[in-house]
Structure 1
Amino acid sequence: MKNQLPPRRFYPCTETATENPVLLIDSDAPLLDLHACLRERLNAALEHLNLLACSSLPDFAERDLNNVANTARILVQDVSDVFRVIEHRGFDRPAPG
């Protein structure tokens, strides 16, 4: 019989700025807290993208566009990482990583 490792409590967020994970997701956090985290980040990303969509291109410098896009990317990546933990918790199997 193969020995199974106990489930991990903390899962790393996807990192693009560092080689080692810095931010961790507590897979044992209450679902309401995980949902609040998702909602906050997704709403912030949507507000950023709405600002961009409702503005004319000449209003933004290239650097501003890059900052808005990068901020939205980071927030959506966080949302994706937390969803991954929730999905694996809900399906009762360990999250990858």
Structure 2
Amino acid sequence: MTIKTPLHRHANMSHPATDRPVLLIDADATLSNLHACLGERLDAVLKYLDLMACIHLPDHAEHDINTISTIARILVQDVSDVFRVIEQRRFDILD
């Protein structure tokens, strides 16, 4: 028999594509690990958008532009979700 325990130390990530969260953030991770996660994603999306800004996409490449936008949105949403966890921890300390 499997006993399900609540995941109090995990925070949900945003999931506009699903009804229920499937990815979680370890809310108890060290601030340096959370910062590293943010840094990696933010650096990746900035490099990606810089690359996209330098490429010429023909006018008929609407599908490509939608894909680029979706990838950037997902990475920025990840960053926002981890920032939310850091902010919540800060407010928990102040309370």
Tell me the SS of whatever aligns to 1:15. coil
Tell me the SS of whatever aligns to 2:58. helix
Partners of 1:68 and 1:60 in 2: CA distance: 14
Q: How far off is 1:82 after superposition? A: 0.3
Partners of 1:60 and 1:16 in 2: CA distance: 27
Cross-structure match for 2:31: 31
Cross-structure match for 2:77: 77
TM-score (norm 2): 0.82
Inter-CA distance 59–51: structure 2 relative to 1 (3 Å threshold) = farther
TM-score (norm 1): 0.80
% identical aligned pairs? 60
Cross-structure match for 1:48: 48
What CA deviation, in whole Å up to 9, does each residue of 1:32-80 have, x standing for no partner?
1101110111111111211121122328822221111100000000000
Structure 2, unpaired ranges of 5+: 1-7
Cross-structure match for 1:61: 61
Partners of 1:22 and 1:49 in 2: CA distance: 27
- Between 1:41-50 and 1:74-83, the stretch displaced more is 41-50
The total of aligned residue pairs comes to 86
